[in-house]
Each structure stands twice: as structure tokens, then as C-alpha cells.
Amino acid sequence: MGEQNMLRIEQVDVKGHNAAWAILSIDRQKQRNALNTELLGQIADALDDFAQSSSVRAVLICGEGEHFAAGADINEIKDKGREEGYLDPRKAHWRRIRNCPLPLVAAVDGFCLGGGFELALMCDLIVAGTTAKFGLPEPNLGLIPGAGGIERLTTMVGRARAGRIVLGGEIVDAITANDWGIISYMAEDGALPFAAKLTERLALRAPLAMQAAKKAIVASAETPLKHVMGETRGDFENLLGTADKAEGVTAFLDKRKPTFEGK
């Protein structure tokens, strides 16, 4: 049986207007809001529902507590091999999230790592508080990001800076993320209050125009990347079956440094 209350969903009606926006709050605080498969499916389901709504026009995604999302759930990855990766329902969940036509805003405080960073990169605007930290540390586990994070980040910040994060394993703070163009807004008093006002403002704009504008932005940034992202996903699935992945995940869970052998 799955965990309860992993995703808090709230619709906010804008007073005096026939419009609303929604908040999706990730609530796995003991796991630093790590994204397991069930939770990712809940996010995708909620976005599908809001996309069919006649009133909801924008969606805010945030994390309960101190963190946005500290990555995927490592316990799920531990025993997952290549075949399981190929059949992984997460691929469809990620696809539905990226295909959501509504403007998405990520409010990021604390850790935004791995799959959490990939989720934020799928949003159209990122608001970061001063505690925000961004990274793609999957190579520490013998893996790579499998949901388009490398490609989106490289398009956003360029090869040199993407290399520092993906290959060098750097975790960048909010100030650096702002300087590099990863985030859209800095919020000195925490991301959520600023992001809520921003999302409401988006909800008051012409909804069909906003959806068309989002479609154009995504297409401009990502159409050349579709083939590359497919190859990256295949590489991710292949890595699931390696001894290095088993060592990396086991070392992480044992809280020790991994010893990789290239196998």
C-alpha cells in the first residue's frame, strides 16, 4: 500500500475573476521530498486534471518543509535493472508532466537535486529562495539523469557550466543559479510567497495565449533535443544493470564513499 498524503493539492480561486490557480505541494519530508514512482504519478494525474479544468490556468509546484525535492527515491532504484528501467512507468509520468499545457511555476527552497531538479527544469518559471541548492548528482550512484535534465540544463546554461554540474558534481546555490540563468526569480524571504503571487498573475492573463506562448517556448528550446533525450534515456536504462550502479546505490544507503570499477 502506498504512502498517504504525499501530494497536497489546493485550488485557489482569484477573487473577482473567473479564474483560478493551483498548488501542488510535495510532502515526503522525512525523505526530503524524494520523488518515488507513486508520487510522480500523482503529480502527473493532478496536472492532467487541471489541464481539463475550465478555471485553473496556472500551477505552482513546491515542497513541504525545508526542501523542494532531493532527487528520486533511492530505495526504488536499488533493485531496478535494465529491463525494469525500460518498462518503468516513470517515463510516462515525466512525459505527461512535460506535456502539461498550463504554465508551471516551481517554488524552490532547500535541496533541488536529481529528479527534483529535473522536475523544476520542466517548469516554465523557477523561483528560488536563498536556501535553494541545485544539482544533478546521479553519477555518484553510477547513473545519469534520465528525464531530460542534462539536455535542458545544457541548453539553458551552456556546455561548460552544465559540465561543472553533471560531470564535476557541483551543487550550485541560489545566487549562482541566478547568475547562470537557471532560475527566473530570486526571493529573499523564501520562494513560496513570491511564487504564489507570480502564479496568480499568470492565471489572470489570457489563458489560450499563455498556453500557445508556452508551447512556442518549449518547442524553441527542446525540439532539437528530442532525439538526444531518447538516447540519454537508453543510456540511463543500460546503467541500471551495471555493477557500478549497484555499488553507488549501496554506498549511498550505507553512507560511505563508493568504489567504482567500470563494470
Which positions are catalytic? 72, 115, 118, 138
Q: Enter the DSSP assignment of 31.
A: G
**How far is Cα 131 from Cα 77, in angstroms, rounded to an integer?**
27
Q: Please give the grid coordinates belonging to residue 92.
A: 510516462
Bridge partners for 207 per DSSP: none
**Count of CB atoms situated within 10 Å of the CB of 74:** 18
Q: Please give the grid coordinates belonging to residue 132.
A: 535553494
Task: Give the alpha-carbon dihedral of 35, 41, 42, 44, to 10 degrees.
Answer: 110
**How far is Cα 242 from Cα 237, in angstroms, rounded to an integer?**
10
Q: What are phi and psi of 239, to 5 degrees?
A: -65, -25
Q: Quick one: how many helices (H) and strands (E) in the chain?
A: 12, 9
Cβ contacts of 82 within 8 Å, gap of 6 or more: 237, 238, 240, 241
Q: Please give the grid coordinates belonging to residue 199.
A: 502564479
Identify whether the C-beta of residue 65 lies closer than 8 Å to the C-beta of residue 33. yes
**How far is Cα 219 from Cα 239, in angstroms, rounded to an integer?**
29
